[in-house]
A = this chain, B = another copy of it.
Amino acid sequence: MANANGPMGAEGRTVPRATNPMVTPLLTDLYQFTMAYAYWKAGKHLDRAVFDLFFRKNPFGGEYTVFGGLEECIRLIANFKLKEEEISFLRSIMPTCEDGFFDYLRAIDCSDVEVYAIPEGSVVFPKIPLMRIEGPVAVVQLLETPFVNLVNYASLVTTNAARHRFVAGKSKTLLEFGLRRAQGPDGGISASRYCYMGGFDATSNVAAGRLFGIPLRGTHSHAFVSSYMGPDEIVDKALQSHDGSSTCEDFVSLVQNWLGKIQRADSLRGVFSETNQSELAAFTSYALAFPNNFLTLVDTYDVTRSGVPNFCAVALALNDLGYKAVGIRLDSGDLAYLSIEARKFFQAIEKEFSVPGFGKMNITASNDLNEETIDALNKQGHEVDAFGIGTYLVTCYAQAALGCVFKLVEINNQPRIKLSEDVTKVSIPCKKQCYRLYGREGYPLVDIMTGENEPPPKVGERILCRHPFNESKRAYVVPQHVEELLKCYWPGYSDKPREELPSLEKIRHRCMKHLNQMRPDHMRRLNPTPYKVSVSAKLYDFIHFLWLSEAPVGELQ
């Protein structure tokens, strides 16, 4: 086998192909191939290059980001090989290129590429490389576009999920309902995966549930409710009791019976008169199909006058047979008000009919929820137990892109810099090491980048941390704990041990742990404190030396 590492890993384990079969070596920009040809033509294609993948600014006005997408990058390189028909296509669009170049393309894989990365699910910050990729310049360039594509949205939507979890609080159930509004099929599938990673509890997306083992949730839609004309439609009306000891032959009548009792009850009188019969039929039918998982959408006609009383009638009938209804979903209107009204009604039912626990019925809310609306609900007061979130979550509506970039920092051991009139766009040169320094209270204090061969920061030893571009911003830190950030995920021909690719469950756990250990002022929604990102004094000096040597000197006229 030509490739020592892929698809068999360093330890002989197979790395599966990318989750989306559309991720192939052709999923890249044409210029990666035209550059590869120019490198090849110049005999420069084997030059050893080091690229950093990083972003410049945290999304959503926040001061943190969660890193996602690493596993998919490793899957791509583990199986990186151009097929004959892909080479034929490239030849057709690059007709002036010499045959030898296509022979070269035919031979390449990623066995000579090394990938170092921060573990997926980590809290990360601007400028610090999320990944460092080393290898022959022509091959590593081909990886730029797919790597940035695979990391950008994954990190953005994981961060968005973490922010929604933060505002909703730990006690609420968060459901990702975004598939229909996502940016294409795998926008939806990726969203389900990365929202779970960022702290959601479940998804509605069956394909994602199957691919990634994410818990699935879902009951019925408005169309289900309006598809019923009335209870006469229900033919098989029998329902066995929960313990199997008896059968209610006419569950429809039992429900009608309970609806009558609710309508006549003093404590509930006047809230409603006639409920919608097509809705009642739909609820009854749903209960007959799922007596153990009875949760209904109550806003097809009118929440307080129809949906909630109809739900209660069916729930009480189920209760007679030993089943415990789950709850309701609200999908329109004033969710704070409606959830409070529904809660009152459930509590009144509990009291009126002596059904213990009925007042604690689960209330799920959906309908264009986002960070702001959940925050507003919290401020108003509400009785929602679970939030179903779609559009704003999965499309990252508040900021639809994270600006990850992939910059050359060294070639053939020569550090390289990319200049720009905009100082935030100047890249930090050199193959670097990155560390997270922790303070006395256990919080991360600062991330620091050093040159590759500098000694690592030591616990208890004072180190100067400098802002990479602002000479007056610097601080001494005495770390209580030092964490090396970049681990080896693909060793190439080096003999470094390769990090395992953990399960989604483990990555999710890391993410929750990381988010919890941040100092709260970095995490708050309003005016969060920026987390410090720095370089060593030695790297600072080198950056500015290189900058001056590369920038042309102007001439005033």
Contacts and interface: CB of A to CB of B under 8 A. Distances in A.
A378 interface: no
Interface in A313-362: 332-333
A158 to B, nearest CB: 13
Interface stretch (A163-171, A397-405, A442-450, A518-526): A397-405
A59 to B, nearest CB: 12
- How many copies of this protein are present in the complex? 2
Interface string A36-59: 011101111001010100000000
A292 to B, nearest CB: 6
Given A33-B218, A183-B396, 19 more contacts: A20-B22, A22-B186, A22-B189, A22-B207, A28-B207, A29-B177, A31-B219, A34-B218, A35-B220, A42-B236, A86-B210, A93-B216, A97-B289, A141-B223, A144-B180, A183-B190, A302-B552, A333-B421, A395-B401
Nearest to A38: B289
Contacts of A27: 179, 185, 188-189, 205-207
Contact of A47 (B144, B227, B395): B227
Contacts of A37: 289-290
Given A29-B205, A153-B183, A289-B42, A419 B20 contact: no
Contacts of A234: 42
Contact of A219 (B34, B42, B184, B233): B34
A51 B187 contact: no
A555 interface: yes
Given A29-B177, A38-B289, A188-B149, A223 B44 contact: no
A219 B36 CA distance: 10
Interface stretch (A254-262, A273-281, A459-467, A535-543): A273-281
Contacts of A187: 153, 183-184, 186-187
A400 B183 contact: yes
Nearest to A303: B421
Q: Which 6 A-B pairs have the closest CB atoms?
A: A30-B218, A31-B218, A38-B289, A395-B400, A223-B408, A183-B183
Contacts of A207: 22, 24, 26-28
Interface stretch (A110-118, A119-127, A409-417, A492-500): A409-417
Given A222-B418, A416-B226, A235 B180 contact: no
Contacts of A28: 179, 205-207
Nearest to A331: B420
Interface string A468-484: 00000000000000000
A428 interface: no
A391 interface: yes
Contact of A153 (B184, B209, B285): B184
26 contacts: A20-B22, A21-B22, A24-B207, A29-B179, A30-B218, A33-B218, A35-B224, A38-B285, A42-B235, A42-B289, A49-B223, A93-B209, A96-B292, A145-B180, A148-B181, A154-B184, A183-B187, A184-B187, A184-B190, A186-B186, A226-B408, A226-B418, A227-B416, A274-B553, A300-B418, A391-B403
A512 to B, nearest CB: 24
Contacts of A552: 272-276, 301-302, 305-306
Given A152-B180, A209-B93, A550-B301, A42 B185 contact: no
